[in-house]
Amino acid sequence: MKFKAMTAIAALAVSAPALLLADADDDTLIVNGEIEMITKAPAPEHLSGVLDEIVSGWHMRSDETQVMQADDFDNPGMIYTEQALDDWNAVNGTKGKSCASCHGDVEESMKGVRAVYPKWNDSKEKVYTMEMQINDCLTDGMGADAWKKSGAQMAAMEALISVQSRGMPMNVAIDGPAEATWEWGKELYYTRTGQLDLSCASCHEENYGNHIRSDHLSQGQTNGFPVYRLKNAKLTTVHGRFKGCVRDTRAETYSPGSDEFVALELYVASRGNGLSVEGPSVRN
């Protein structure tokens, strides 16, 4: 935090315009004039002594980008939810079923789902991400081919499911059977990788609010995923983002869908417990 204090003092000394102040802004996010988002919240208990407040990455973006997320017509991520709705209703596979055959109306059945994933799956005896659950439905439930992990079709379906939980606070369980996976995820979070020798914490815990080159570092919260990234004009999944981050440390990355990324996803999601589900959010 020493760094941030220095930045603030420097900014005051030269009385720089607000634009140069690095920390999270104080804007509020209300989507469609209806859904009030919790974009700042007290840190969950397991982060005591590490962080006081958790902040959505939305606060780290420019006003122009922030505004895009406040209206579904302006949010380019919403296009993909429409595409996913077609998939939701499309009969696929040998059993002649669609998602809707079992789950009915997505607005009813998927409400609250995004907020609690990843979560422990009793019958499979491991932590399940939404992607794993979607692929299980496709292969076992519908007799169809699994979708590519973190692929475009998968990201769109995750967006459709996320939309049903927008505004609800993230609340993933980290105790009970999920604890071992969570501990592993925590270990991965603090493990430095790559030629640049950076851990997740190096940027997203110790330096959020500061700039890394021209990029304004966030806390790396996952509540906004899948995100529509302006830089590549498509949805990015959590694992896709992890892969990008690890690659940027100049390390060989884990694969999307790997056990390592599943554990990390659970841990990172738990750091955001209390922030509203925003997906699909808009970031740069």
Q: Are 151 and 159 in contact (CB under 8 A)?
A: no
Q: Are 127 and 121 in contact (CB under 8 A)?
A: yes
Sign of CA dihedral 121, 124, 126, 131: negative
Among 7, 23, 76, 173, indicate the residue that binds other proteins (CB under 8 A). Answer: 76
Instruction: Find the shortest distance in angstroms from Cβ 109 to other proteins.
Output: 25
Closer of 88 and 267 to other proteins (Cβ)? 88
Among 27, 64, 74, 197, indicate the residue that binds other proteins (CB under 8 A). Answer: 74
Q: Concatenate the DSSP letters of all residues of 236-252 into one string.
A: E-HHHHHHHHHHHTT-P
Q: Contacts with other proteins: how many residues (CB under 8 A)? A: 7
Instruction: Find the shortest distance in angstroms from Cβ 161 to other proteins.
Output: 20
Measured CA to CA in angstroms, residue 95 lies from 105, 110, 139, 144, 254 at distances of 20, 22, 10, 8, 34
**Contact between 8 and other proteins (CB under 8 A)?**
no
Q: Choose the stretch contacting other proteins; rule: CB under 8 A; options: 73-81, 126-134, 185-193, 217-225.
A: 73-81
Sign of CA dihedral 132, 137, 140, 145: negative
Among 67, 79, 116, 146, indicate the residue that binds other proteins (CB under 8 A). Answer: 79
Site for other proteins in 110-129 (CB under 8 A): none
Instruction: Find the shortest distance in angstroms from Cβ 233 to other proteins.
Output: 5
Report the C-alpha gap between 96 and 242 in whole angstroms.
35
- Residue with the two structure tokens 């500061």: 210
Q: Concatenate the DSSP letters of all residues of 57-106 into one string.
A: GGGGS-HHHHHHHTSTTT-TTHHHHHHHHHHHHS-BTTTTB-HHHHH--H
Closer of 22 and 156 to other proteins (Cβ)? 156
Q: Which residues are catalytic?
A: 245
Site for other proteins in 83-102 (CB under 8 A): 83
Report the C-alpha gap between 101 and 103 in whole angstroms.
6
Closer of 74 and 105 to other proteins (Cβ)? 74
Site for other proteins in 227-256 (CB under 8 A): 233
Closer of 81 and 219 to other proteins (Cβ)? 81
**Contact between 73 and other proteins (CB under 8 A)?**
yes
**Contact between 64 and other proteins (CB under 8 A)?**
no
Give the binding site for other proteins (CB under 8 A). 73-74, 76, 79, 82-83, 233
